[in-house]
Amino acid sequence: MEDQEYRRHWGRFLIFTGIVGSIVGFFSVISDNLPYLADGVTVLEFIISYLAITINSLPMWFILAMLVGYLFANNISKAALLGSIYTICAITFYFAIGHFYIDAAVSSSFKEQSLVYVIWGGASAIGGILGGITGFLFKKTPYALLVLLVGLILQLFVNGTYSWGNVVGIAQNVTFCLIIISIVFYIVIVKRKKEPNWGT
């Protein structure tokens, strides 16, 4: 019985990784090859561009790794393992899809490509480990979200004032601001609920 549950658990994780990882990889490639959007951008172009640059952002990659740790891990070690597996698979999808995407094709030597794969794979694994652990710790304490909060604030600084000059950049920044506000409110609400009510 435990063996069947174990296989089902891993099966759900692999399905999640395959579906979500491929979606992330696809939109990340689209993000790298977005054309300049003039003032007459259509609604469909805006939606695709917004999804692409938001999904391809570091906070979103971190959030999805957190989701893995939250949903599939029952201890820190497993959270780190599953988080790294997920992000490595996602970056692999990104490279695989990008290889077949004409505009993303880059003529470079095998050594240069291998170095890029190693660097990005290593960075993805580290991010996945941290995200997975943060997601698992979130089940224990809401203060784990402070890690994500700091990451979102840093991303806004990295985006810079230039990102507020176009509609897609504004939409992404507003999304991050809303997430930041939601995290603060959530932590405050949870903290207040845990405080003893001395008036009763």
Query: pLDDT for 24-81, tens place per residue?
Result: 999 999 888 876 665 567 788 888 889 999 999 999 999 999 999 999 998 999 999 9
Domain boundaries, position 77: 2-140
Count how many domains the chain has.
1
Higher pLDDT, 36 or 174: 174
User: Does some domain include residue 8?
Assistant: yes
User: Does some domain include residue 186?
Assistant: no
User: What pLDDT, on a 0 to 100 scale, did the predictor assign at position 138?
Assistant: 94
Phi, psi of 155 (to 5 degrees): -65, -35
User: What pLDDT, on a 0 to 100 scale, did the predictor assign at position 5?
Assistant: 78
User: Does some domain include residue 200?
Assistant: no
User: Does some domain include residue 73?
Assistant: yes
Cβ-proximal residues to 181 (8 Å cutoff; 6+ apart), any chain? none
Cα–Cα distance measured from residue 72 to residue 63, given in angstroms and rounded to the nearest whole number = 14
pTM for the whole structure: 0.87
| Average pLDDT rounded to a whole number, residues 145-159 | 93
User: What pLDDT, on a 0 to 100 scale, did the predictor assign at position 108?
Assistant: 62
| Average pLDDT rounded to a whole number, residues 12-26 | 94
Arithmetic mean of pLDDT over the chain? 86
User: Does some domain include residue 196?
Assistant: no
| Average pLDDT rounded to a whole number, residues 120-149 | 93
In the numeric block, the tokens 């203060």 are attached to 143
User: What pLDDT, on a 0 to 100 scale, did the predictor assign at position 14?
Assistant: 94
| Cβ neighbours of 128 (radius 10 Å) | 30
Largest CA distance in the chain: 72
User: Does some domain include residue 110?
Assistant: yes
User: What pLDDT, on a 0 to 100 scale, did the predictor assign at position 150?
Assistant: 94
Cα–Cα distance measured from residue 126 to residue 146, given in angstroms and rounded to the nearest whole number = 18
| Average pLDDT rounded to a whole number, residues 136-152 | 94
Task: Flag whether pLDDT at 189 surpasses 80.
Answer: yes
User: What pLDDT, on a 0 to 100 scale, did the predictor assign at position 38?
Assistant: 58
pLDDT confidence bin for 200, thresholds 50/70/90: very low
| Average pLDDT rounded to a whole number, residues 177-190 | 93
Cα–Cα distance measured from residue 125 to residue 119, given in angstroms and rounded to the nearest whole number = 10
- Which of 12-21, 67-76, 162-171 comes out lowest in average pLDDT? 162-171
pLDDT confidence bin for 104, thresholds 50/70/90: very low
User: Does some domain include residue 70?
Assistant: yes
User: Does some domain include residue 51?
Assistant: yes
User: What pLDDT, on a 0 to 100 scale, did the predictor assign at position 109?
Assistant: 64
